[in-house]
Amino acid sequence: MDLTFTPEEQAFREEVRAFVREKLPAALRHKVVNSLRLTRDDHVMWQRTLHERGWGGPGWPKEHGGPGWNAVQQYIFEEECASAGAPRLIPFGIKMVAPVIMAFGSPEQQKRFLPDISSARKWWCQGYSEPGSGSDLASLKTRAVRGLDKDGDHFIVNGQKTWTTLGQHADWIFCLVRTDPQAKAQRGISFLLIDMKSPGITVRPIITLDGAHEVNEVWFENVRVPAENLIGEENKGWTYAKFLLGHERSNIAGIGISKREIERLKRVAATEKKNGKPLLEDSLFSAKIAQIEVDLMALEMTNLRVLSDEANEKAPGPAASILKIKGTEIQQAITELLVAAVGPYALPYKAESESDEEGDIGPRYAAGLGAHYCNMRKLSIFGGSNEIQKNIISQQLLGL
């Protein structure tokens, strides 16, 4: 057993750290570490910066223009980026649809779509969930009917997707659609890439409890999609979807983010006063921080064990579910303590805040903490809710 990173891995960490330190603009970092809302341009700018360095697709193999990193390198990269306050990579293009296109797309599709993803020329969003199909995704109803006319082989898509994160910015959406209504649930689903500018698509905002516009409804009304945008085989979409969900583990636990947030929590608690003394010296409060820190330490170790198993090609078991549950619980617990730390100053409402300059209500670091806490409730709901993750774990354990 050896808990240390190899000298090569250490050197790699230094390289990433130096790069982020040099390239990440201070204003952007400020927004990220204070959980202020990022614009589309903020995300695109950072993605382009990474792309220029050849790191636009951190998990991508060399043959598709990626750096060809192994799982440990990807982990180190993400951890360094997160703790330095770089924006998280918007996963839909880089981590979700790209691996599917690499594994199941045609060479033409790979040539056509992949370069625009790593260079952030095109923004992707994910069209899986529907109003009636959340946890039970296989029950989805959006219909795609194949036809041939003078303009060629195509699908006509009708239906509604929902909860589409940042769909308002998107150029493309990857969708699961039902192509065979007669087949059993999972068997009649196909994986389609759809241009968001196609006639018949309507995007409507959903405002979340923190007052922000982050998710959308996407309506399809007789939307024509060229058959060349079908990934793999018709009615095999579920296989690709499952591949996608199981694919990305390097950052599911959010270790780097949590480390950064704990530092922030301590900074806030060192500044806030209780009985005239720093809140950080209050034994009850500091014990709560300590509890989160030790939980995070354990999770980091678990995460590294998973990575090492993966490198040795051992079956991962329910690891992804464990990392997701614990990782999101820890992230949510930190937001609770941040709110408790600033007390009533978490209450002034700041929606869609892109800056904390204007506010002179309460300390500057308190701006948006309440909204952030509200927003982070989503972590245990999306990406397969934590209840569903526990079902997956217990099904594997009990096999009943």
Shortest distance, position 368 Cβ to other proteins, whole Å = 10
Residues 366, 169: Cα–Cα separation, whole Å: 28
Comparison of 340 and 381: residue with beta carbon closer to ligand FAD: 381
Do residues 247 and 60 make contact, with C-beta atoms less than 8 angstroms apart? no
> What mask of x and - would describe binding to ligand FAD in positions 139 to 168, judged by CB under 6 A?
------------------------xxx---
Listed ranges 142-150, 201-209, 218-226, 242-250: which one lies at the site for other proteins (CB under 8 A): 201-209
Please identify which residue in 38, 145, 206, 304 interacts with other proteins, judged by CB under 8 A: 206
The Cα angle at residue 166 between residues 323 and 207, in degrees rounded to 5 = 100
What is the DSSP secondary-structure string of 241-260?
Answer: HHHHHHH--TTTT-HHHHHH
Q: Hey, which residues between 307 and 336 contact other proteins (CB under 8 A)?
A: 336
Residue 159 in the binding site for other proteins (CB under 8 A): no
Per CB under 8 A, does 209 bind other proteins?
Answer: yes
In the block, which residue shows the tokens 């990857």?
174
* Per CB under 8 A, 25 contacts other proteins: no
CB of 52 or CB of 336, closer to other proteins: 336
- For other proteins, the closer of residues 150 and 277 by Cβ is 277
DSSP 5: P
* Nearer to other proteins among residue 199 and residue 399 (C-beta): 399
365 in Cβ contact with 359 (< 8 Å): no
Contact call for residue 381 and other proteins (CB under 8 A)? yes
Structure tokens at 201: 């698509």
Q: What's the 3-state SS for 63-112?
A: HHCCCCCCHHHHHHHHHHHHHHCCCCCCHHHHHHHHHHHHHHCCHHHHHH
**Sequence-distant (≥ 6) Cβ neighbours of residue 329 within 8 angstroms:** 380, 386
Query: Of 100, 83, 82, whose CA–CA distance to 92 is shortest?
Result: 100
The answer to whether 135 contacts ligand FAD (rule: CB under 6 A) is yes
Summarize as ranges the residues that interact with other proteins (CB under 8 A). Answer: 129, 132-136, 139, 162-163, 206-209, 211, 215, 273-276, 282, 284-285, 336, 339-340, 343-349, 360-362, 370-371, 373-374, 377-378, 380-382, 385-387, 390-391
Residues that bind ligand FAD in the complex, under the rule CB under 6 A: 126-129, 134-135, 163-165, 215, 378, 381-382, 385, 387-388, 391
